[in-house]
Amino acid sequence: MPVPQKPRGEMTEAERLEARRKNKRALYLRRVGRPIRISPEEFAEVKTLVMDCPLRGMAFAAMSDQTGVIRHIFGDIVGGRRKSLNRDTYEKVRTLRFEPPPPESRTGSYVDPTGAVRRLEALRAQAFPLKFLADRMGVEPQNIRYSETYRKGIQLGSRDRIDRLYEELRNRKPEEFGISKREINRQYTVARNSGFAPPSCWDDDTIDDPAAVPEWTGACNTPEGYRIHVREGIPLCTACKLLIETRPVVMLEDLIFFPEALRSAMSYRGMTIAVLAEKSGLSPDSLLRWRTGDRSPRYRAQVDRIASILGIDTDELVRVRPQPEVPPTLEVIPSGVFNPYVLSTVLNLNAIPKRGAALTLGLNEGSISQWLERKAKPRDPALLTPLAAQVGMKVEEFYP
């Protein structure tokens, strides 16, 4: 494609000769398969080279001095604002080679911000206010907020200042600097809600690693780590939160809850309903009903929380309910409609309580109550097989 140019009548003789030379070169490059605008593959190659140098600490100004390409082109490539290059510029950029910058020019280079962001969050998790950290660094608070949210890169000089501030404050307390108790409590709340990891969660060899995760409990990403989070009141880390969220939800109908085990564990620990409710976040009324056996937890996660606080294994409080086996030769295909009156009569005549019927059928007591109150019906007639066998009836008799 010919290079855009001024109208021929407005050109000087030298400009006409230069325009003719450029147009002839552009046409020649197209004929030999090397157009004046580079291909997407060539741009991807040069972008990789350009992206690597700033992340290793080389400033755009140094890259410009080395290649002769104006510095804002490098910024456009790194920022994703430029999608192609002229071939002349491409050939110059290809000569770029990383050079470690001298100390006096390090403020202009960009590096991976992972370690700096984690160090700032760790200091905020220790209840150091944002304005206090900004004053110690000699910057405005909005600059720190920008550093915490800007994940593509920060200036190397800023990272160095954050590193020095972290080493200075990591083993100090806000009270030593005259920060009020009220402000400290507020900062703790902000840090807890934001999930900031304190310095104790990081080692020197992991805090700068983008693939590393904070080690809150020493057993994170395991069931034991989740129990420690709950028992010690530590905010859930991302790994443990995902572990719990991705676990299948186990309902009460799949479990048998043992209130005797709950009473024994609470007595051994000397823990009251009020204390257990406060630590677990569950209702005292619900805990009281579970303790006396009047009700049972609906979800396995509730039992996990209680077991973590009491320091026992979840299997001590619940067992998976054995599913009744239907004889393979029996095919229950009743032709009628389920009649709850028949079920009620059978239970009364045989003195079978609803809880006993639920245990026989491998269900919870609430399901039996809903059947009797006509709010629901058995999803499969075969569920009634164990009860029918116990009272000497056929399943079809429940479906007259």
CA–CA distance, 343 with 332 (Å, rounded to integer): 17
Express each pLDDT in 123-136 by its tens digit: 998 999 988 988 88
Both 118 and 186 in a single domain?
Answer: yes
Q: Which of 80, 107, 134 is the last residue of a domain?
A: 107
Residue 230 pLDDT exceeds 80: no
Q: Please state the φ and ψ torsions of residue 333, each to the nearest 5 degrees.
A: -130, 75
Using CA atoms of 144, 145, 146, 148 in order, give the dihedral in degrees to the nearest 10: 90
- Residue 389: pLDDT band with limits 50, 70, 90: confident
Domain assignment of residue 207, yes or no: no
Of 208, 210, 224, give the one whose Cα is nearest residue 313.
Answer: 224
CB 258 within 8 A of CB 317: yes
103 and 55 share one domain: yes
Which residue range(s) make up the domain with 139? 112-201
Return the CATH number at 366: 1.10.260
Identify whether residues 124 and 160 lie together within a single domain: yes
- Does 130 lie in the same domain as 82? no
Residue 334 forms part of a structural domain: no
Instruction: Decide which of 90, 107, 124 is a domain's last residue.
Output: 107
CA distance 214 to 192: 14
- In sign, the C-alpha dihedral spanning 202, 205, 208, 214 is negative
pLDDT exceeds cutoff 60 at 164: yes
Residues 129 and 86 in one domain: no
Contacts of 171 (CB under 8 A, 6+ apart): 199
Any alpha helices (H) in the chain, and if so which ranges? 13-31, 40-55, 60-67, 71-79, 87-93, 114-125, 130-137, 141-149, 156-169, 181-194, 223-232, 238-245, 259-269, 273-280, 284-292, 300-310, 340-349, 354-361, 365-372, 385-391
356, part of any domain:
yes
Average pLDDT over residues 324-341: 57
Residues 185 and 235 in one domain: no
141 and 54, same structural domain? no
Assess if residue 210 is contained within a domain: no
CATH of the domain at 234: 1.10.260.40
The reply to whether 93 and 129 lie within a common domain is: no
What is the per-residue pLDDT for 363? Answer: 77
Query: Looking at the structure, do residues 96 and 120 belong to the same domain, yes or no?
Result: no
pLDDT tops 60 at residue 321: no
pLDDT above 60 for 142: yes
76 and 119 part of one domain = no
Q: Is residue 296 part of a domain?
A: yes
pTM of the complete model beyond 0.85: no
Q: How many whole angstroms separate alpha carbon 309 and alpha carbon 372? A: 38
Mean pLDDT to the nearest integer, 218-234: 67
Task: Please indicate, yes or no, if residue 81 is contained in any of the structural domains.
Answer: yes
Say which range, 105-109, 198-202, 281-285, has the weakest mean pLDDT: 105-109
Does 67 share its domain with 141? no
Domain-embedded: residue 89: yes
Tell me the pLDDT tens digit for each residue of 5-55: 567 677 788 888 887 887 777 677 667 666 677 888 888 888 888 888 877
Percent of the chain with pLDDT over 70: 78
Query: Is residue 6 one of the residues assigned to a domain?
Result: no
What CA–CA distance (Å, rounded) separates 99 from 110? 14
Give the closest residue to 129 by CA, choosing from 84, 171, 168, 181.
181
Choose one of 138, 169, 201: the last residue of a domain: 201
Number of domains in the chain: 4
Q: What is the pLDDT of residue 175?
A: 92
Closest by alpha carbon to 194, among 120, 112, 272, 301?
120
If asked whether residues 161 and 177 sit together in one domain, one would say yes
Q: In whole angstroms, what is the distance from residue 329 CA to residue 233 CA?
A: 54
Q: What is the pLDDT of residue 72?
A: 86
Contacts of 304 (CB under 8 A, 6+ apart): 223, 226, 227, 230, 314
